[in-house]
Structure 1
């Protein structure tokens, strides 16, 4: 089968190769990948800016996708051939730690993820465990289905805060996660502001098309908020950029809420005095759990027309270099592959 392989020896390298179709057994299922999306972490792996365990390489990249079940193991009860499914990236977790027992497998220290620790979805087929999958209704298109995984990240982040219709919310970083976070926050009736850098001009245009209340360049944000006498109640930081993190903490009103969704491969220095002097409520958010997946699938049925504005194009897997390069050039935030 066609696949994109990450070779971790002597620096990261991604190659297009034909490899064998995975074999399944027991509670495993084999899925034909219909659409697979490029995530920011895939780009970090592609450019060598994300930690890779050389012991797991070579490995198939990719974790955002929608697919169709083509084979099931003899102990599978939750899937049948022909089912349209998406899947959480967590392939296995220990199932014994207090987090796993609470359903928070995203915090398990032993969890292994497709596209990082085992073969992912940038291939014609992917092997999954039955407990990873979620069924997708026919009302959701393949392109929109490929956005469900990043939508789960946005759902988890927004639900970490107490968003009210009277709130003003700032989304810092208009990548795919940031734009989907804006869409989720709008479901609560909040006023939503999206900020970005000059490199994000096209993404900020999409934010406007999504119906957010204001888009603004990050450097102009404090002045514009002061001029319009706007207090920010909640910040969802989706870039992982140090300047954006500290700006978000700085502009929040006292007792405001700050949720860190974006990640960084580098150490981020944070102004803790903003947190102390304003008694800010600060929390992190990573990945998603089962409830977030069910919420995201139901939500996607309602917002998929808007969500599809985030997709720039669909490319064959063979054109992966073109897709990665366009992503790096700060075009529209989401490019999908068709293996």
Structure 2
């Protein structure tokens, strides 16, 4: 849990078991994924309300149901949207975009989250896990829903040449959603990403390019008759990659930012004007993206299990965070200690 503002200030602690309240449920957590946001919280680059239990990529089962909750029962395997509280009245909430609510409070940053055994969430946020989707795979529903939201905002057309920078977990999910949408996907990485690029191939990338040894612009030109990519998507929160993508996208193309940088970056905005680019940012997810994310997994169009690289008990969180920050593997999950 994050116990105080500042860099670090994260420790393993003890919290009370949450009490179920009307309109809420208690989830016994099976797995919670480590997200880039959790690293930003560790480094004090993301706003939190400490002391707070971190973690928001949750899969588990219902163990208690509060009053005024219907169609949800004890034992149900579920995942949960991350908004603990929104106003339900602003323009954003009323238009189905609670992710933009100014009063939004989310689990894992403002309210206790999933790096623990039990978590309380609003019943309205619950989604049942399909029978053919494992708990580990379902722990990636939240990042997949974020990707689905970003792709929705990006207006993908079948046959688009789409270039992804950042072959991490978000990049791999973006790759699979783009392939499902009919795009011709190119994934960029460095020499250090060799293993990740091999996985990208297995997950449907038409091309993978090591930017440290290849002339990326020349290769994209060959694929696009010299025009450039129809859409580029930055998935790592890397300033150099964001700048490179501006050179690879065609005139009149689209740039989508999915990764978070955690700090201001230098970016050539003039290229947005010269090329008449459509620039899209995405922030977390919206409710309908969760339904679609679960359908993509259930139908086998997105394989989230394929990018789970390690599982650690919660008392080894420090090692898990270190491996995640060192980009060892793709998605690392934490699991609670047994009683």
* TM-score, reference length from structure 2: 0.93
Structure 1 residue 305: deviation in Å? 7.3
Other-structure match for 1:236:
233
Q: Is the 8 A contact 1:255 1:278 kept in 2?
A: yes
Number of the residue aligned with 2:29:
33
Q: Given that residues 37 and 46 in structure 2 are in contact (C-alpha distance below 8 angstroms), is that contact kept between their aligned partners in structure 1? A: no
**Aligned-residue offset at 1:332:** 1.2
Q: For residue 12 of structure 1, what is the aligned residue in structure 2?
A: 8
Gaps of at least 5 residues in structure 1 are none
Equivalent residue number for residue 127 of structure 1: 120
> CA–CA distance in 2 between the matches of 1:227 and 1:156?
30
Contact 2:176–2:301 (8 Å) recurs in 1? no
| Aligned mates of 2:6, 2:290 — CA distance in 1 | 37
Residue 42 of structure 1 aligns with which residue?
38
Alpha-carbon offset, residue 119 of structure 1? 0.2
More strand by share: 1
- TM-score, normalised to structure 1's length? 0.93
Matches of 2:150 and 2:76, distance apart in 1 = 29
Residue aligning to 2:262: 265
Aligned-residue RMSD, C-alpha: 1.7
Q: Assess if the C-alpha contact under 8 Å between 2:297 and 2:303 holds in 1.
A: no
Q: 1:273 to 1:156 in 2, by over 3 A?
A: same
**Deviates further, 270-279 or 175-184:** 270-279
- 1:337 has 2:334 as partner: yes
The number of residues matched between the two structures is 332
Per-residue deviation, residues 243-281 of structure 1 (Å, max 9, x unmatched): 211211221111111111111111122212211111111
Tell me, in whole angstroms, the C-alpha distance in 1 between the residues paired with 2:47 and 2:8.
8
Q: 1:8 to 1:201 in 2, by over 3 A?
A: farther
Distance of 1:304 and 1:311 partners within structure 2: 16
- Where does structure 2 lack aligned partners over 5 or more consecutive residues? none
Structure-1 residue corresponding to 2:312: 315
SS in 1 for 2:13: strand
Distance change in 2, residues 1:143/1:225 (3 Å): same
How far is 1:227 from its partner? Answer: 5.0
* Structure 1: distance between partners of 2:243 and 2:32: 33
1:183-332 equivalent positions in 2, closer than 5 A: 183-219=176-212, 220=214, 221-227=216-222, 229=225, 231-303=228-300, 306-332=303-329
Q: Is the 8 A contact 2:180 2:301 kept in 1?
A: no
Equivalent residue runs for 1:74-223 within 5 Å: 74-219=67-212, 220=214, 221-223=216-218
Q: Pick closer, same or farther for the CA change 1:84–1:246 going to 2, 3 Å.
A: same
1:326 & 1:320 partners in 2: Cα distance?
10
